Amino acid sequence: MGQTLYEKFGGEEAIAKVVDYFYEELVLKDETVQHFFENTDMEKQKRHQAKFISFALGGPNQYSGKSMAKAHEGMNLQPAHFQAIATHLHDALAHFGVQEHDIQTALDKVATLRDDILYK
């Protein structure tokens, strides 16, 4: 069996760096989505996101929080918001040298959650 993207990328430590960059340099500076995080405990959010990205890259599924639908309830996220976050994830992974085809594999996994996130 081949190496997972999680292992290929460097595991938990590397993903933590991606998550920090994702939020601090991209998401929280994007006026189209930053307001969704105004009252968010960002350290907790980063921990949850790191677990989610780990899972999306084929690592262990350590996420034990709310379902995606429940976590996004009342936010009324639109397709443009979802796309902005997906683009930021792409850019964060690319920033740390993840190859385009590997990024696309991760984004394909994220895309499966679209219906659980939008319009809630």
Q: Give the model confidence (pLDDT) of 48-100 as tens digits.
A: 889 888 887 888 866 666 777 888 888 889 999 999 999 999 999 999 999 99
Which CATH number describes the domain made up of 5-117?
Answer: 1.10.490.10
Rounded to two decimals, what is the model's pTM? 0.89
Domain ranges, ordered by start, for the chain:
5-117
pLDDT in tens, 98-112: 999 999 998 998 899
Do the Cβ atoms of 59 and 11 come closer than 8 Å? yes
